[in-house]
Amino acid sequence: MAAANRLVVFIALISLTSSPALATDGKPLQDYCVADKGGGTRGIKTATLPMNGFACKPPQSVTPNDFTFSGLNKPGDTANPAGFKVTLVTVDQIPGLNTQGLSMGRLDFGPGGVNAPHIHPRASEMLIVMEGSLEVGFVTTLPETKLITKVLQAGEAFVFPQALTHYQRNVGKGPAVAISALDSQNPGTQRVVAAVLGSNPKLPVEVVAKALQADNNVAAQLLSKFK
């Protein structure tokens, strides 16, 4: 292969491996790396090396409890304004998830309960309805901003692409339960309305008013609802 062609291939490989589309949790290079909560934590430097995730617990101190979580059989308390409760299982609950690129959650909905529009910046999600009926949907990016939505019954699944705004709503007469799986040990959650109206410090009233195409008084009133 000519030197020029080798250079083109090299540049193409670098572009692929650095592509945002491939920017997910890295593959483990060992059997496991149980999170050492007493060592490095996300974003905190250990010695001179910035860490993205957790340092590994010494193998001799690893126990079965590092790979175990109990509680997904227990209903979440939906007695709140949203009528919704999520029980998350991430690396914070199971240290053995560190470097495994996986987390999950149990979602409980009271009648009319809503998991308000939100995104997971670091993960795609698959949701399976275990009980009841859920309306689910996500919104594509600009310029289409198309809403893709469906009503799911028990036993049906739905996929939410990474970092797209999505929601779930209980449209049945009784409670609803779902299980979700995400392809990151720490998927992150940002609620759309709370991010705009509940940031700390607050976004300027003028910015919110322009975003909502409303006057400043309406924007100020909405901002005041989020302390």
Show binding-site residues: 115, 118, 120, 125, 166
Long-range contacts: 48-53, Cβ < 8 Å, 24+?
53/91, 53/98, 53/99, 53/185, 53/186
Q: What is the token pair recorded at 205?
A: 């009233």
Say if residue 178 is exposed, middle or buried (CB neighbours under 10 Å; 0-12, 13-18, 19+).
Answer: buried
Tokens coding 171: 């449209």
CA separation for the pair 59, 103 (Å, rounded): 22
Residue 184: name the closest of 127, 100, 117 by CA: 100
For the record, the structure tokens of 122 come out as 């670091």
Rounded Cα distance between 61 and 37, Å, is 13
Residue positions forming the annotated binding site for Mn(2+): 118, 120, 125, 166
Let me know: does 204 contact 212? Beta carbons within 8 Å. Answer: no
Determine the Cα–Cα distance for residues 78 and 177; give it in Å rounded to an integer.
11
Q: Are 34 and 92 in contact (CB under 8 A)?
A: no
Binding-site members for oxalate are 115, 120, 125
The Cα–Cα gap between 50 and 43 comes to 7
